[in-house]
Amino acid sequence: MSEILPIRKIIHVDMDAFYASVEQMDNPELKGKPIAVGGSEKRGVVSAASYEARKFGVKSAMSGIQAIRNCPELIFVKPRFDRYHEISKKIRAIFYDYTDFVEPLSLDEAYLDVTINKKGNPSASLIAEEIRERILKEVGLTASAGISINKFIAKVASDYNKPNGQKTITPEEVNEFLEKLDIRKFYGVGKVTAEKMYQLGIFTGKDLKSKSKAYLEDHFGKSGTYYYDVVRGIHNSEVKPNRVRKSLAAEHTFNENLSSEIFMLERLDQITNEVSKRLKKSKVAGKTVTLKIKYSDFTLQTRSKTLQYFIADKDLIFDVAKALLYQEKLKNSVRLLGISVNNLNNEEKKFKEMPKSVSVQLSFEFKE
């Protein structure tokens, strides 16, 4: 007997190759050409790739060197995040014309709950179509959308008819859709979990559905319950309009690898300044400072320190980051440094910045 699922109307809107599309819109000479935002022929990492570049296998997080090997005609463009933020605000303004239940995931995607909406339109599919048409007309960019009864299915559906398309999974279609779905498409199934599932003969949603809750809990612990529910269309996560930010960060990839800690401190000072500005702009502070180090061989290392009090002051964050840098000897020359501050006090809705006149001496005990 099939379970009765709560009927919500959720839309996942995902802009098509957002950063690259903005660059092509602002510079008509780039239209129809393979472009990469971020990176270069010699260094750096691609942040986004146009659809023309994707045909050659260029994708985000790929090194610029590999990208140019895949596509010798590739054009590298410097990212303009202020412009992306500006465009993103215009797109979100359109969302709010339909519902206040908007949960942004990033600059280029968001969930909308239109079960009850400002237009009184009972059709989520028609609302999604109207939103996409308005984004194209008012902003000049294309968007894709997925529509279904929960966030998980809507997000998966939004990938089906990209670019500039949409797909609706009706309540009646949910079971068949999930049974046919590749196991790697399910939330929480990464490489390691997928390999484990393959060994257990689980390749699709149908295979997953055939396993009992006890069996899945035995092999996957608490996640087993989640897998048991989600393949049955049970995913009750609400669209959260006021999504609480968990961390604030900034990082920088260098034009040349750094081996001198003195030069690294100069860069850390600049990065810390940016993090502090973002914290103060958001009116939050944090207790945990994490230093991110990416070496010239692309290996990644993080070092963290949790304090007894909240900080947002640039000098205090820098002192912690500096101590983390000197915590142990660097393994190689460094191509990227980043600083993040988490354990934020935004849940308490309180922000009391330390008086500038207060001098704090930080002491650290690090294990070798």
Q: CB of 174 within 8 A of CB of 149?
A: yes
Q: CB of 146 within 8 A of CB of 5?
A: no
Residue 42 vs residues 23, 45, 50, 52, 54: alpha-carbon distances, Å:
21, 10, 20, 21, 19
> What are the residues facing 15 on neighbouring strands?
143
Q: CB of 112 within 8 A of CB of 14?
A: no
Structure tokens at 39: 């990176």
Q: CB of 38 within 8 A of CB of 79?
A: yes
Separation CA 227–CA 234 (nearest Å): 9
Cis omega (within 30 of 0) for bond into 72? no
Place of tokens 């260029």: 58
Q: Of 314, 283, 294, 299, give the one whose Cα is nearest residue 251.
A: 294
Strands 10-15 and 166-168: unpaired
- Residue 138 catalytic? no
Catalytic residue among 109, 173, 328, 347: 109
- Which helix (H) or strand (E) is 342 found in, with range? strand 334-344
Structure tokens at 3: 């379970």
Q: Of 161, 176, 117, 137, give the one whose Cα is nearest residue 13.
A: 161
Separation CA 182–CA 160 (nearest Å): 13
* Catalytic residue numbers, as ranges: 109
